[in-house]
Structure formats: structure tokens, C-alpha cells
Amino acid sequence: GKWSGTEVRIDGQDLLIMKESDIMGVIEQSAEAQKAA
């Protein structure tokens, strides 16, 4: 769709490349939350 971006995989991590103007917000996980996942 209009805001879908381009999906890429770098070093085993799935990332989404999109225009800065399309970003509506950023959600960050703490280091402890990432260890639990």
C-alpha cells in the first residue's frame, strides 16, 4: 500500500525501509524487554 515501505533482512533482522515523511511514530524496546522476547 501507500505506506508499506520496502522489507529487507540485514544480519538476520527484519527491517522496513520507508520515507521519513511516512513515519507516524517510533516504538522502542528496552534491553530487558528484548532479552525476554
Say what the pTM is.
0.47
Q: Residue 20 region, left (φ>0) first, then alpha (ψ -120 to 50), else beta?
A: alpha
CB contact at 8 A, 30 and 19: no
The predicted pLDDT at position 28 comes to 85
- In sequence order, what DSSP letters do the residues of 19-36 get, joined into one string? -GGG--------HHHHHH
pLDDT in tens, 1-37: 666 789 999 999 999 898 888 888 888 877 666 666 6
